[in-house]
Every structure is written in structure tokens, then in C-alpha cells.
Structure 1
Amino acid sequence: MSSRRNFLKNAAIGAVGASTLGSAHIYAQESKKITWRLQTYAGPALAEHVIKPSIDAFNKAANGEMEIELYFADQLVPTGELFRAMQRGTIDAVQSDDDSIAAPVDVSVFGGYFPFASRYSLDIPVLFEKYGLKEIWEEAYGEVEGVTWLGAGAWDPCNFATVKPINSLEDLKGKRIFTFPTAGKFLSRFGVVPVTLPWEDVEVAMQTGELDGIAWSGITEDYTVGWANVTNYFLTNNISGAWCGSYFANEEKWNEVPEHLKTLFRLCMDSSNYYRQHWYWGGEADLRVNGSKLQLTTIPDAEWATVEQEAMKFWDEIAKTSPRCAKVVEIFKQYNALMAKAGTPYRCA
């Protein structure tokens, strides 16, 4: 009996000690929890598709070790200042294209909508994973202090949604269009007047007449974010088959993340990229056929071919800006030549 009492007494003391140690361990874990602030280029309605599901999944799978707070377009920092804010550590991570956030690298011109670099959304991952763009982007951002480029994915095409119909290139002249920096620079060759506004102000600007249209997305986004409610026409010709967007992180904050959480974040990036592939691909076709808000217009192929020819001149001009840009342009040329030779369904005649 004496031995039994001593055993129970020691067990009780041990249990208290284990409980105390356990509580200390939990507290230590909680005190080391990593918290990030990530801002996307997208407004709330669009973010529900292009990033929020993947961030929610990450937070759940991280099991309390890390939490990412998601912020929408211009919510913490204006989109054009995102790169510098991330570099300073004001925010920890960004989802956007290189062009819109004014990334200080020569290849930033290819982010967003570089005219006719892609025809379909699958072109982007193939170019990065099979044709060397991944290594080129890693090299470019490796020269910049304070930021780590994490990877690129494909978004939707770039079409015009306008108040008045576009049936010819002449109809583009003088139109005030909300678009991306490089896309706007290219479209200005056809008389378009590029306009930069905070994302959340675009719908009101359409209603007040400050804008004549948008060349920022495909038809899926026009319906999703409400732009189909303030425009009347959708031009089926596009200047790019897929937007090129990336994920970035503050270098110091990324280096603090343990390897298993880095892997988890990259998997969630892949999940988001995959979702957009089918969401946009299916949505673009369905809304052209079944959408009731926008009337479709088309510029004849022969006339639109002049836009494609002008894009090739634009490519050559960009190639002259740096050896690295020249390398990217050469990859685009080789890739598109191969796709043309492959024929349908890779490229239509």
C-alpha cells in the first residue's frame, strides 16, 4: 500500500509537471506564430476567385503555425507602390503582375499583358516551366534587394469592354481606357488614351463618363466584378490570351518561414493557378454564349492582323532595352513559331 501511495503521489506530481510543460510548449508555439500581410491586385469580388480560396486553405493547413491576412486592391498600399512597400517590409507578400507594381527589373514589362505573347492560358506555365522564363525571372529578381519572386501563373485574356461598340480600329481612337501600363503603351499606337485609376474607382468612372471602357480582363471578370453592369459591348479580339501574374514575398520574411510552410505556400499557389485555368477558360466561353449583359463585337481578321504586326515591332523595340529582354523576346518568337507549326489546337490557321 505504501508503494502504491508513493506511486500515485509521484504520478500526480508528474502529471502537473507535464501539464505545465505542455502549456509552456503551447505558449511557445503560439508566441512563434508567423503572421503575414499579403495584398492582391484584385478587388474583393475578384479575390474571392483568384486568391482567397488558396489563402483560406493555407491558413487551415498551417495549423496555427502561420496565418496570412489577405488584403484587396489598394486596401493597404496603392497598387503602383506595392513592390516598394514589400521591399521595406510594410507588407509581407504580394499577388500581382510585375508591371502594375512597378517592379524595378527589366522583365517587369512582360508581366500583365505583353501584347500577343500568349494566345491561351496554358502558354504562360509552359513558357515558365519549359522554355526558361522561370530561371530568367529568378535571375532578374535575384539582383534586387529585399524581395523574393516566388512564381508566375496565368490569368484571363485582355479584351475591351466598352460603352460604345468597337467594330474597327478607327473606333478605338480617343477612347479613354482603364488598362495596364505596358498594354496601355502599346494600345496608344491605335489612338487609345490609357487611364490609370484605383481599381475600386473604375465602375464609378464608367458611370460618370471619365472612362469609355476597360481593357483589363476577359469577360469572366467583367461579369464577376460588376463591369458588365456599366458597359454595353465586349470586343472578341484580344491583345493577349492570358495575363501573366506572380507571387512575391519580402525576402527576410520568406527566409524566416520553415521549409514545410514554404512548401505548403507553393502548393497553395499551384492550387490557385489551377483554379484560374478552368474558371477563366470555362467562363470566357459560357458568358460569350449565355451572358445577357454585353453585346459581342469583332474587328475583322484582316484589320486585326495589323495590330498583330504592330506587336511584333513593339517586341523588337522592347528587345533593345536590355540583353535579358532580348532573350525573353527571342523565347516568345521561338515558342510562337513552334505553336504555329504544331497547328490546331495549339494555333489556328
Structure 2
Amino acid sequence: MLAQVYNAVCQGKPSNFLLVLALLPTLVSLSLMSLVRIHESAATADDKKHLNSLSAAALIISTYLMTLIILDNILTLSTLAHVSTLVLLLLLLTSPLVIAIKAESENMIKKTSVTFSHERANPLLVTIDEEEQDMNILQAIRTVNFWLLFLAMICGLGSGMATINNMSQLGQSLGYSSLEITSFVSLWSIWNFLGRFGAGYLSDYLLHTRGWARQVLTAATLAAMSAGHVVIASGFAGNLYLGSMLVGVCYGSQWSLIPTITSEIFGVRHMGTIFNTIGIASPIGSYILSVRVIGYMYDKEASGNTCFGTHCFMLSFLVMAAVAFFGFLVALGLLFRTRRFYQTVVLRRLKYVSIQGK
């Protein structure tokens, strides 16, 4: 969206665009905060219907943005065209609000005719609660599972962040135009979103229908990310399009999977603290791979301050491919360690919730 704002309103005026970046997020939050409410009603089938509508709206918006980015690479759009596409984008962005208002209206109607009974204790739920322990951060960091998840995320999130941090120099060294490089960065955001959305949906589906722990998908995305780094290292024509898509989708997938895995393994009571502690893996991995690997190797290959050719980043991305593959092996280790826990606790809890919802 911000790229469209720049093209339609701030093109040629970077200072105005920086002002928009500084003010827009805060203004949006302040203007919409009065709409946030706490609802204590029980979940219903209608909730899923409205959530599916929100998901569909998000996919439509991302598809529209991706189409605009591709068109910018193929065609030279006029200022009027940029303004028109921005207006349509803003209209699309109002669709989630329309869905929320409709859901709230339906909920208010039901409240007048439906009463809720008190929940009764269930022996199965009590048994599950006894087996599941809500750990605090000090208890969590004493477990092997915490450090396996942390190490896997250093490999995955760190190599993914290192890729986007160096996308500009990477594109220049391979001879891509400034417009193409800008497009890579914009498309990365869409791949990132699709990874978060798709991994969340797919991991839920596999867990509920096949009983597969979410670590299966974590390991798969790390393996695919390793392949993406190899594609970028190869330097063949169009490699950044395919490589950035693979790495971007997998990077987003891992951000979607980490909080859910954290809550399932360590409990929900201190989940926020534990998740954000594991999130430190991203800047740590990014620093090691961006500065100590990519930066160091680029400086060795560069003549002066610039470097052109596949050799500039080939070795560093092969190193990152190896790091991501190591993360895949670590994720497999976490999968085997938690397999019994998912079978005896997580799946039983999901079965209980499913029975209660019928």
C-alpha cells in the first residue's frame, strides 16, 4: 500500500513520503482505537464464517497489490492511473471494517434471544489441564525444547532477514534494474503475508485432520528456505524472483508458526514473554549472517565499494543455505522430542474442544 501512496501522492518528494511513514500508522491506530471492544460471548459457527470473510478480503487485497507491482514493471502508468488504483485500494481496505460491522450487528440481534448456561466441569478437561504445565520464562529456558526452537529460529528468521537486508546490493550485483529491485522488496511483503496466512491455515488443518504437529511445517519451511538460498546463489536469469518468493514465504510461515508452537509447548499463561524471548533469535541471526557472513564475504569480493557478478554473494548464500538446512535438522529434533506430548495432550485437548462445540 505504501508503495502505491508514494507513486500516487509523493512521487519525487521523498521528504513528504517520510512524513507519511512517520504519521500514518499512529493516526490509523488513534482513529480506530475507539472501535476495539472486549467480547465475552461463546464462539459460534458464525464466527468462523466472518473470519473466513476477513481472510478472503485479505487475500483479495494482497492479490490486487501483487498485480499492481507487476504492472508497474511491465507498463508505465500515468499519475491518473496511480491515483485511481490507490482509490480502489483504499476502498478494498474498508472491506474488513464492513465485515466487522455486519458481524457486530448479527451478534447484537442474537444477544436478545439467546442465553448461555454455565459451563460444567469435565473430567477430560481436568485431566488435560493436569498434564499440561504453564511454564514461566525461567522454567522455559531450562528446557531443551526452548533452545531447540530458539536455535531453529536463529537459522530461519536470521537467514530470511539477512536476505531482505541485502536485497538492494544483491540485485545490483546481478544486474537487475532499480525498478526490479524495488519490486522485489514490495513483493517480499506479499510473500511474507502469504506465508503467515498459509502456514497458519495449513498447520491447523494438518493438526486437526491428520494429527501432525506444527513442527512438521516448521521443518518443511526451513528445508524450502534452504532451497531458496541455493536458487539465489546460483545467479541464473530471474533467480531473484523465484528465490525471494521461496525465502519470503518461508520467512513469513515461521513467524506464523512460532507463537502457536510456543503456546502449545509452554502454555498460554506466559506465552507473550516466552514468544518475545524466542523472537530475539531474529536480530541475533540477522546480525551474524548479515554482518559476519554476507558483509564480510562481499567486502572480500568487492573492488572498492561495489561488486558485480554472481561471485559477490554466491558463497555467502550457500552458507545461509547450509544454516537453514541445519535449522531444518534442529526442527526435526524438536518434532521428535514433542511428538508424544502432542499425541497425549494437544490432540486430546482439541478433541475435547471439538466435542464441546457440537
Which band: TM-score by shorter chain? Answer: under 0.3
Higher CA-based Rg? 1
Q: Which has the higher contact order (CA 8 A, sep 6+)?
A: 2
Q: Which has the higher strand share?
A: 1
Task: Tell me the TM-score normalized by structure 2.
Answer: 0.23
Task: Tell me the TM-score normalized by structure 1.
Answer: 0.23
